[in-house]
Structure 1
Amino acid sequence: MAKRVLLIEDEPNIIEAVRFILSRDGWSVDTHADGATALSAVARRVPDVIVLDAMLPGRSGFEILRDLRGDSKTADIPVLMLTARGQQKDRDMAARNGANRFMTKPFSNAEMLACVQELYAATQSPGA
């Protein structure tokens, strides 16, 4: 069974870059571009890892993250918060809301792949 990542992102160039990077490594990559319906996309797809943009149409990634962490069905899914805004306040807000990792755009292909692999591996270790 393929490892599944859900990319919640509204920028087409980022979507294609992340899809390419991860699918080349054997990941099944689903995408969703609307913040307002992101939670239902997570429930439908039940990913192993979520890559979540902070700024989305309809609803912010920070609000989505807070709701994911508040629901027992999604609370343990690793989340990589992805944003063009890398100020300390954004990092703090991501950490407060339960992000496992935080990455700013632009990112390197190797950095994206390594981060998603690490988040997945942490869920596979005994006791996770």
Structure 2
Amino acid sequence: MQANSANAKILIVEDDPEIGKLLALAIQENGMVATVAEDGHVMNALLRNNEFDLIILDVMLPGEDGLSICRRIRSEKTTPIILLTALGEEVDRIVGLEVGADDYVTKPFSPREVVARIRSLLRRASYGLVNTAVQRKLRFEGWQIDPLRRQLQ
């Protein structure tokens, strides 16, 4: 996790290539690294092999929808998630936040606003690093707990 937005790695999961390009460009122009996945399958492969500081997730994806993906990611990781969708009703925003999203942006959107929200979430996520950075792996009876990764080995 980046302590600030410089060089932060952002995963954009968006099935509309134009929106994906627009977001990636705005993110890259602001000193961050953007990777675009067009669906949940590509996203899963990227998450297996890479660590990302933040995920922007479209709700209406082909195959597995963004809400179920968000719920699944949240059960495994604390990576900040911004849901991006055309669904702008209050109930849609509430459901998105309740399944684990940290923020919710409706289409059409301002790329500058999305970048500002990314920076804000990265800043808030880095506050916890002060406390967790001092946590070391704990070892006992042949087991090892990594509190930062939430893993038992």
Give me the TM-score of the superposition, normalised by structure 1.
0.90
* Aligned residues: CA RMSD: 1.5
> How many angstroms apart in 2 are the aligned matches of 1:13 and 1:127?
40
> How many angstroms apart in 1 are the aligned matches of 2:93 and 2:120?
19
> How many angstroms apart in 1 are the aligned matches of 2:82 and 2:68?
14
> How many angstroms apart in 2 are the aligned matches of 1:110 and 1:104?
14
Stretches of 4+ aligned residues off by more than 6 angstroms:
none
2:56 partner amino acid: V
Shift of 1:67: 0.4
Note the alpha carbon deviations across 1:29-53, whole angstroms, 9 max, x for none. 0111112443332232210000000
Question: 2:93 aligned to 91, 94, 110, which one?
Answer: 91
Q: Is the 2:17–2:38 contact (alpha carbons within 8 Å) kept by the matching residues of 1?
A: no
Q: What's the counterpart of residue 118 of structure 2?
A: 116
Q: What's the counterpart of residue 105 of structure 2?
A: 103
Q: What's the counterpart of residue 7 of structure 1?
A: 12
> How many angstroms apart in 2 are the aligned matches of 1:123 and 1:49?
10
Shift of 1:95: 1.2
> Does residue 42 in structure 1 map to residue 42 in structure 2?
no
> How many angstroms apart in 2 are the aligned matches of 1:83 and 1:124?
26
Kindly, what percent of the aligned residue pairs are identical?
Answer: 30
Shift of 1:58: 1.1
SS of equivalent residue, structure 1 residue 29: strand
**Unaligned 5+ residue runs, structure 1?**
none
Return 34-43 or 101-110, whichever deviates more. Answer: 34-43
2:104 partner amino acid: F
Within a 5 Å distance, the mapping from 1:25-104 to structure 2 comes to 25-71=30-76, 74=77, 76-104=78-106
Count of equivalent residues:
125
> How many angstroms apart in 2 are the aligned matches of 1:83 and 1:32?
16
SS of equivalent residue, structure 1 residue 16: helix
Bigger-Rg structure (1/2)? 2
SS of equivalent residue, structure 1 residue 110: helix
**Unaligned 5+ residue runs, structure 2?**
1-5, 133-153
> How many angstroms apart in 1 are the aligned matches of 2:44 and 2:118?
20
> How many angstroms apart in 2 are the aligned matches of 1:24 and 1:61?
26
